[in-house]
Chains A and B, each alone.
Chain A
Amino acid sequence: MFEYAPAPESRDVVDIKPSYGLFIGGEFTDGTGTPFKTVNPASEEVLSEVASASADDVDRAVRAAREAFGTWSAMPGSERAKYLFRIARIIQERSRELAVLESLDNGKPIRESRDVDLPLVAAHFFYYAGWADKLSYAGYGPSPRPLGVAGQVIPWNFPLLMLAWKIAPALACGNTVVLKPAETTPLTALLFAEICRQADLPPGVVNIVTGAGETGAALVNHPDVDKVAFTGSTEVGRLIARSVAGTRKKVTLELGGKAANIVFDDAALDQAVEGVVNGIFFNQGHVCCAGSRLLVQESIAEELLEALKRRLATLRLGDPLDKNTDIGAINSAAQLAKIRELSDHGELEGAERWSPACALPERGFWFPPTIFTGVAQSHRIAREEVFGPVLSVLTFRTPAEAVEKANNTPYGLSAGVWTEKGSRILWMADRLRAGVVWANTFNRFDPTSPFGGYKESGYGREGGRHGLEAYLDV
């Protein structure tokens, strides 16, 4: 094979401080919890030490947000818009720095942080900036009011993008926020705090509290939080839904998924293969809407699998900062253990495991792209979210069977359909119980396009006009 020489993106564009504090009321302050280390999952190198917010720190942050809420919500929408535009511009200006930092802290390939995450982050701020002075036209009444202080907890798979999905609409609608980034990926959120300062955003409008689960719980359960937005596991989503019972808090949850990617025998085969690959190996499969179940029509199963395996053999796994890397590092040792456990279980259950020849680096957290064939609906790998580069392959015979199998899960976040027949696409799209249906494409995102799940994949939508509802008192 034509071996491309190493093509590492320069790390010099980022300046990681040895330690970081909490961002409260426009200032970086110490936390009273025990600081924790964040590591580069590709090398296990410690990147920095980060403050941990205790319940008291969270309370300070909520109070700062409450204090800022008065002026921020009273500010004309057109002025709020300009702050958001300013933030969007700074993100564009510093996009390479943010992309490199994201890849360092998260382990995702620079090609993705550079070409997917960062452009979407900037676009999201641009999009919601434009809504700030047009809320009366959004279909939520003549002058919809913000909710107040939003407590937002985000995951580690798209640290900055999830931050954008949470903060941009919240601020556009006139809310102030306290955001907790994931414990393993706090750095880009802290750089974003710096960007807020560069943009002269009024103190307290955005507060960032770092920490683990307890910090998140303190935020979600804080009595002066009006709105809770969470992206993460269904397990934690359940706890949150329970904990807000009986309160006035408005809640949106974007949780897990076990999406079916359904390939019919008349599909554009090469693009379907790409879609399947992109569906499950994008971001190492750390994607809630990942197409983790391939449902292929039996008549082409063999042909498709052969093409898929051939394609997998060309995936380049390794240094996330190398511009040619397709598969980066697994985000953490804990996640790697979970992926291994479920995959081993897949073999125990009798599914056949396959990975391309693929050398894994010695240090860091790595898992090869993996396909399981001979998977039954009842297998754990067909039901549980692996959240890793692991694809379960199942077959079907008729469109009705495909729908039945696709919907046979407590989740309902996304689904894929591959066929060249238009009427079948619409028939399928109609019947798939999922918040996003990608037909002849997969894993596409856009700030104008609402995203969110059915059933145990959560509720509420992020993106588009629909995304405003989560942050307005309607």
Chain B
Amino acid sequence: MTTSFADVASSNVALRTFLHGLPGVDRVGADQRAAMLGTRSVKTTAKAEAIDLAIRMVDLTTLEGADTPGKVRAMCAKAVHPDPADPAVPKVAAVCVYPDLVAQAVGALAGSGVKVASVATAFPSGRSSLDVKVADTRLAVEAGADEIDMVIDRGAFLSGDYVKVFEEITAIKEACGRAGGAPGKEHGAHLKVILETGELATYDNVRRASWLAMLAGGDFIKTSTGKVQPAATFPVTMVMLEAVRDFLAATGRAVGVKPAGGIRTTKDAIKMLVLVNEVAGDGWLTPDLFRLGASSVLNDLLMQRQKMATGRYAGPDYFTLD
């Protein structure tokens, strides 16, 4: 953070003054811009490259009450070899699980290069005490999670208690630290901050929450838990991409963006890449700074990939369900 933002979080008044001083977002204009970018036509070689890049950006996710070690192991296998029949298919970026299943995922992915992300902080509602949230985070971090996907306290945000949101994020960021962690994991986990934009309702709020999360030290800002609709819409993702672009210009620090929830087709995934390309710039076209939180989109990407390779339309029976 540059000095100009040093005192921004000193009080609710200071935070409010700062966040409400950000330029507004006109909803209709933002929707139109996103829709226009959605008309970009990405074909042939560009499409092939985009599909592989999208696969490399996937955070393959399972966040269900019915999750089991077996389910997680199967998903991890898929993450490493999305298409067992085609070794040229790249690995996904990460798998994303609940904290109690992190150890299973870490074991299954050891040495693969696929990262383990865990949701935390009383996901998805975030309605618990900070102590519980910190403990939840530590549990996941100590189990070996590389990335923590926390939720912000939307209630606090909507009631104007920006300091509370800010301080929770800094506390969780601290809990992501890992003294004497395993080799390669000494620096602690990366923090993704879920804004749950579907509950924030306005694009102005999305922009403010994005800045709040970035000011508090988040490494990524993420749209949604996947449990609330609407989730990762194109305009919301675009507003967040504008925020990271402006934050980099203001502070020199690049923050990543992760749309999550509702991305089901290759077309959607490629549209997201177009947004990244034309809004934040191609500097963000890397799994280090852009992820797609999804599960079903992977098979569609694989089917499209096969179609590009063989010229035939693919069928779901030829891809694994995990």
Q: Which A residues lie at the B interface, using CB under 8 A?
A: 1-7, 111, 115, 266-271, 274-275, 314, 323-324, 420, 440-441
Contact = CB atoms under 8 A, between A and B. Distances in A.
A420 B207 CA distance: 15
Contacts, number: 67
Contact of B25 (A5, A115, A270, A324): A270
Interface in B125-182: none
Interface in B251-279: 273-274, 276-278
Nearest to A1: B282
Given A5-B46, A268-B23, A440-B26, A324 B282 contact: no
Contacts of A268: 23-26, 29
A266 to B, nearest CB: 8
A271 B26 contact: yes
Nearest to A419: B24
B43 A271 contact: no
A441 B29 contact: yes
A441 B273 contact: no
Given A2-B273, A115-B39, A275-B29, A270 B47 contact: no
Instruction: Give the most central of A267, A269, A270, A271: most B CB within 10 Å.
Output: A270
A420 to B, nearest CB: 5
A441 B43 CA distance: 31
14 contacts: A1-B282, A4-B40, A5-B47, A6-B44, A266-B23, A267-B24, A268-B24, A274-B32, A314-B278, A323-B39, A323-B41, A440-B26, A440-B28, A441-B28
A324 B37 CA distance: 9
Nearest to B249: A306
A111 B26 CA distance: 23
A7 B285 contact: no
Contacts of B23: 266-270
Contacts of A6: 43-44
Contacts of A269: 23
B194 to A, nearest CB: 23
A402 B73 CA distance: 64
B154 to A, nearest CB: 23
Interface residues of B, number: 27
A48 to B, nearest CB: 28
A270 B39 contact: no
Interface string B85-111: 000000000000000000000000000
A291 to B, nearest CB: 14
Interface string B29-60: 11011000001111111110010000000000
A242 B304 CA distance: 64
B33 A2 contact: no
B242 interface: yes
A83 B213 CA distance: 59
A267 B29 CA distance: 12
B28 to A, nearest CB: 7
Given A269-B23, A271-B30, A441-B28, A4 B41 contact: yes
A420 B24 contact: yes
Nearest to B49: A2
A420 B24 CA distance: 7
Given A7-B41, A267-B23, 19 more contacts: A1-B277, A2-B50, A2-B277, A2-B282, A2-B285, A4-B42, A5-B46, A6-B43, A266-B23, A268-B24, A269-B23, A270-B242, A271-B25, A271-B29, A274-B29, A274-B33, A440-B29, A441-B28, A441-B29
Contacts of B40: 4, 323-324
Contacts of B24: 266-268, 420
A395 to B, nearest CB: 18
A270 B28 CA distance: 12
A270 B23 CA distance: 8
B43 A7 contact: yes
Contacts of B278: 314
A440 B24 CA distance: 11
Nearest to B242: A270
**Main SS of the interface on chain B?**
helix
A323 B39 CA distance: 8
A323 B278 CA distance: 16
A160 B242 CA distance: 37
A4 B43 CA distance: 7
Which 7 residue pairs across A and B have the least CB separation, nearest first?
A271-B29, A7-B41, A269-B23, A5-B46, A323-B41, A2-B277, A271-B26
A115 B41 CA distance: 14
Instruction: Give the most central of A3, A5, A111: most B CB within 10 Å.
Output: A5
Contacts of B282: 1-2
Contacts of A314: 278
A111 B36 CA distance: 9
A133 B23 CA distance: 48
Nearest to A114: B39
A275 B47 CA distance: 30
A106 to B, nearest CB: 19
A266 B21 CA distance: 9
A267 B32 CA distance: 17
Given A7-B41, A314-B278, A324-B41, A2 B46 contact: yes
Contacts of B32: 274
A439 to B, nearest CB: 10
A2 B283 CA distance: 10
A115 B28 CA distance: 17
A269 B29 CA distance: 11
Instruction: Give the most central of B24, B32, B278, B282: most A CB within 10 Å.
Output: B24
A4 B24 CA distance: 31
A271 B30 CA distance: 6
A29 B238 CA distance: 54
A5 B45 contact: yes
A5 B43 contact: yes
A274 B44 CA distance: 29
Contacts of A440: 26, 28-29
B86 to A, nearest CB: 22
Contacts of A420: 24
A271 B41 contact: no
Contacts of A267: 23-24
Contacts of B46: 2-5
Contacts of B29: 268, 270-271, 274-275, 440-441
Contacts of A271: 25-26, 29-30, 33
A230 B41 CA distance: 37
A5 B46 CA distance: 5
Contacts of A323: 39-41
Interface in B284-301: 285
Nearest to A265: B23
B39 to A, nearest CB: 6
A90 to B, nearest CB: 25
A266 B25 CA distance: 11
